[in-house]
Amino acid sequence: MTMLVTRKGEFSASHVCRIAGLSDAENRRIFGESAHPNGHGHNYIVEVSVEGDPDPKTGMVIDLQELKDAIEEEVVGPMDHRFLNFEVEPFDRVVPTTENVAREIWRRLDARFQNAAARLAKVRLFETADLYVDVEREGLRA
């Protein structure tokens, strides 16, 4: 039976949501306070779920160390205590909204698990306790 295994990571980072070429007023209308030019920060929490069948010998869907390393190397390491717009690809040209950061985390981890026994099923990214974005494999809840 397919099961989901979820591991949590945390990183604190700053960002600013602005579209180059738009006026201050337009950016403020679209992004609200997040458009303030000097940036601001969040304590992001990411929950990463992989899916697979428990291995008959080990009883595990995935070696948790492998999942922990993936989150550390692909997400927490590169993003923790960074200014996303200036220091993390592709946010020099892609607006680091919660949606885009979640999608980028999905992209990085999905590539990582291409040849693993378990595959990436879901990424949930909390920007604050009251706002989160889920990116999940099509058909996950079917």
Q: Which residues bind other proteins (CB under 8 A)?
A: 17, 19, 30-32, 94-100, 102-103, 129-138, 140-141
For other proteins, the closer CB: 31 or 68:
31
Q: Least separation, in Å, of the C-beta of 72 and other proteins? A: 24
Q: Least separation, in Å, of the C-beta of 47 and other proteins? A: 12
Residue with tokens 């550390």: 72
**Residues near 79 by beta carbon (within 8 Å), at least 6 away in sequence:** 11, 13, 44, 88
> How far, CA to CA in Å, does 50 sit from each of 60, 64, 95, 132?
12, 10, 27, 18
Q: Least separation, in Å, of the C-beta of 32 and other proteins? A: 6
